[in-house]
Amino acid sequence: MARIWSTELGAYAGQPVELAGWLHRVRRLSQLSFLILRDGQGLAQVVVEDPAQVEQLAQLPAETVVRVRGQAVHVPAAPGGVEVHAPHVEVIALPVGPPPFDLFRPQLKAQLPTILDHAAVALRHPRRRALHLLAAASAAGYRQTLQAHGFVEIFTPKLVGSATEGGANVFAVDYLGRPAYLAQSPQLYKQIMVGVYERVFEIGPVFRAEPHDTPRHLNEFVSLDFEMGFIDDHTTVMAMLTAVLRGMLAAVQEQAEHALRLLDLVLPAVPAVIPQVHFLEAQRMIAEVTGEDLAGEPDLAPAHERWLGEWAQRTYGSDFLFVVGYPMAKRPFYTHPEPERPACSNSFDLLFRGLELVTGGQRLHRYADYLAALAAVGQSPEPLGGYLEAFAHGMPPHGGCALSLERWVARLVGAANIREAALFPRDLNRLSP
Amino acid sequence: MARIWSTELGAYAGQPVELAGWLHRVRRLSQLSFLILRDGQGLAQVVVEDPAQVEQLAQLPAETVVRVRGQAVHVPAAPGGVEVHAPHVEVIALPVGPPPFDLFRPQLKAQLPTILDHAAVALRHPRRRALHLLAAASAAGYRQTLQAHGFVEIFTPKLVGSATEGGANVFAVDYLGRPAYLAQSPQLYKQIMVGVYERVFEIGPVFRAEPHDTPRHLNEFVSLDFEMGFIDDHTTVMAMLTAVLRGMLAAVQEQAEHALRLLDLVLPAVPAVIPQVHFLEAQRMIAEVTGEDLAGEPDLAPAHERWLGEWAQRTYGSDFLFVVGYPMAKRPFYTHPEPERPACSNSFDLLFRGLELVTGGQRLHRYADYLAALAAVGQSPEPLGGYLEAFAHGMPPHGGCALSLERWVARLVGAANIREAALFPRDLNRLSP
């Protein structure tokens, strides 16, 4: 007999079945008992009536790996409408003791650091398992949408020869006796690849040596990056991003439907056109409401982003808001200025429920502009030679953006801490498991 | 007028069109001239008849970014059957000089180190561009096949707290003042995740601090990993891998058809059942032929793998060959022994045209077995606590394998050097671009 998934049980009513998985729970009632089996996809209810067998199963620790053969029976009151009767239970692997917390409870009863310390067990909890399925489905939707628009997937190196983009927040590596660094983003490589395929994307890890200990930062996260050529300006990128967000949500709805139900989650709607506000106008509104003097401030504070999120919800009924035109002063050297107002940039942030989710914009594309921009920030063009060569040999107007997968998932489920959205988060204090 | 791709030109005969891309070449003939335009997807032929315009275009360096508006005309002799007449050519970006090599020649006329130094331009060559499309399509086929078999995509950390798997060939990172390492593989994490989803896969970078300078090694490469639970033994993994290879080749055939034609490539066939040979039997055959004394040798030399590849081709007409039962001595601590012959292992290598492409096998799944295995190699279980916890709390028999994307592509196209199959390879001497 071939093993079936717990989620397939509904199709087998009236037939003998074989299931396998983990002993999620034994519930002893007076007349009969239930063995709840958890496999890689869901839960199945197994009815045990023989008192001797109940006694035997009750001795097994939770998370015992078992194989169950029995009869699938249609029972309207059972979860999913079908349960297993007259089971034969075989133990495949016996735990050395009880798990550090009860996995059968609706929520894990432990503090986040404890949950993360015991990730190998905690991730088995149905809610945590469901949450991480949202990440897989989102990544799939991101890819599908971009591939449908002619984007090519690329794999660029994470070990780089020079700390090119920021300087301070980069991890140093001993590279066979030479200094190397971990890539903070695939930015420079994806721009080079616009010269090759015009439209490229990458899903991969990026590294930030920021000694912050906040609920919003990770030192390693999964970055979803795309970059495209022959754009009008940053608004072409914003339109593509809007399509991508819609594709990500559609994939989550389709591929993680069961997880959404388990998490009791309703996905946000992406408006046909996501509302946008200029950075200077956003500052003006916030100053007017709060009385703060924001003149000359080159960025928005988290509280300002929250206010804008509420404003977008109130004004447009939208969970999403583009803020465009950030001051050049705070944007990286490759940023393209606004043609009419060169202190501002052809860039954007996308706020999702009042938190920055995506950063993007138009990049410089002329070689001379790069030399000038680097000179302006006092950076030598020399270590960037292999990157600047792309611009020396013809690059079209182009732009792109980057989205953190963990921040997206955390915001989607309303997690208070981004660490909940990483399988094995890396932070100031955490390097294992 | 909306811009179209060069590959769409065939559908526009008789209509005005707008193309954009790079000036790939200007061919001056006596009566008329051709401008060959390269965009992200292909090439288009533009006919220029006006002598003044020909003169003007001939002044433009190769790789000038241009927009071309003209009339699409059906001409049987043109590549693809349609070319552009009466063009208006607008320069979008002017290179600062000619490219380091001619991109219009069938092959790049330069040595590999020069090609890699100038990757930003060299990758624009149609053949190199086609080669890297095979990587994207292969990765897509890998994912599609595994997702269809219920595998969940995971993203595991590349910064790890202890050098767990080998020791010597691991890169050290300064992690905010603490020592950390770059993951040599997602092995330990994907095993943990078998306890969560049973079937998982990851496509991501791995890092090997091997000071080798060979045509077969990279210090960073893309690893395609999967791991699955409730297997019989390593043969369950081998059967899944066979399906995955078939899916990868189907995706390449479907998604990179144009690239295959350009590279003049015929894909290998995957036999219904890939032939296999036991390690000891392979040694016996090789010893018989070569007269070498291989008794006690724990691994196969590259020459042995080549011999076996030829043998598989000769005997079974297969480009693929499984070698099973490698000695435990050379396999990592988590390897499951052969039940009947515990000096050998339930492991395999897949040879593709005489080169090791995939390594995999069954892993230990009992906690006590891990403690014994670590003790046997003199390794402390302490730094592996977060990994061993998975086995302490119930793990089914499981196994998986890992495939290097660059090695796969290199072997597929018959590249002499694996560096050709990485966009921006990392080796003993190369950290940029």
DSSP string, B375-405: HHTT--SGGGHHHHHHHHT---SEEEEEEEH
Minimal CA separation from B65 to chain A, in Å: 6
Q: Quick one: pLDDT at residue A167?
A: 62
Q: Is the pLDDT of residue B163 over 90?
A: no
| Average of per-residue pLDDT across B200-221 | 95
Instruction: Count CB neighbours of B103 within 10 A.
Output: 22
User: CATH 2.40.50.140 spans which residues of chain A?
Assistant: 6-98
Q: Is the pLDDT of residue A67 over 80?
A: yes
Minimal CA separation from A302 to chain B, in Å: 25
Superfamily of A6-98 according to CATH? Nucleic acid-binding proteins (2.40.50.140)
Q: In this structure, what token pair is assigned to residue A351?
A: 């706020």
Q: Quick one: pLDDT at residue A165?
A: 64
Model confidence at A31, pLDDT cuts 50, 70, 90, reads: confident
Q: Over pLDDT 90: what percentage of chain B? A: 95
CA distance B139 to A52: 52
Total-model pTM:
0.97
A338-388 pLDDT per residue, tens: 999 999 999 999 999 999 999 999 999 999 999 999 999 999 999 999 999
CB contact under 8 A, A3 and B198: no
> Locate tokens 């393209």: which residue?
A336
Q: Is the pLDDT of residue B353 over 80?
A: yes
Q: Which residues contact B362 (CB under 8 A, 6 or more apart)?
A: B231, B233, B234, B237, B335, B336, B346, B347, B397, B398, B399
User: CATH 3.30.930.10 spans which residues of chain B?
Assistant: 121-421
CB contact under 8 A, B124 and A196: yes
> Locate tokens 């801490």: which residue?
A417
B59-107 pLDDT per residue, tens: 999 999 999 999 999 999 998 899 999 999 999 999 999 999 999 999 9
The closest of B112, B106, B111 to B130, measured between CA atoms, is B106
- Strand segments, DSSP code E, in B126-255 are 152-153, 159-160, 172-175, 178-182, 199-207, 220-229
* Least confident piece of the model among A7-21, A157-171, B14-28, B69-83: A157-171
Contacts 24+ apart (CB under 8 A), A7-11: A7/A41, A7/A42, A7/A80, A7/A258, A9/A44, A9/A72, A9/A80, A9/A82, A9/A83, A9/A84, A10/A80, A10/A81, A10/A82
Output b/e per residue, B368-387; b: 16+ Cβ within 10 A: ebbeebbeeeeeeeeebbbb
Average pLDDT over chain B reads 96
Q: Is B3 in CB contact (< 8 Å) with chain A?
A: yes
A159-181 pLDDT per residue, tens: 999 876 656 799 999 999 999 99
Q: In this structure, what token pair is assigned to residue B96?
A: 């600062």
Average pLDDT over chain A reads 96
Model confidence at A1, pLDDT cuts 50, 70, 90, reads: confident
Question: Are the beta carbons of B134 and B259 closer than 8 angstroms?
Answer: yes
CB contact under 8 A, A395 and B65: yes
Can you tell me the ipTM of this complex? 0.97
CA distance A239 to B108: 37
Q: Quick one: pLDDT at residue A166?
A: 58
Q: Quick one: pLDDT at residue A163?
A: 74
Q: Quick one: pLDDT at residue B167?
A: 62
3-state helix, strand, coil in chain A (%, to 5): 35, 25, 35
| CATH placement of domain A121-150+231-415 | 3.30.930.10
CB contact under 8 A, B433 and A386: yes
Model confidence at B165, pLDDT cuts 50, 70, 90, reads: low
A274-320 pLDDT per residue, tens: 999 999 999 999 999 999 999 889 999 999 999 999 999 999 999 99
B327-343 pLDDT per residue, tens: 999 899 999 999 999 99
- DSSP secondary-structure letter at B416? S
A121-150 pLDDT per residue, tens: 999 999 999 999 999 999 999 999 999 999
> Locate tokens 């995955």: which residue?
B244
Check whether domain B121-421 has CATH 3.20.20.70, yes or no: no
Q: Is A397 in CB contact (< 8 Å) with chain B?
A: yes
Q: Is the pLDDT of residue B30 over 90?
A: no
Contact map slice: A 50-69 vs B, CB within 8 A: 61, 63-65
User: CATH 3.30.930.10 spans which residues of chain A?
Assistant: 121-150+231-415
CA distance A196 to B121: 8
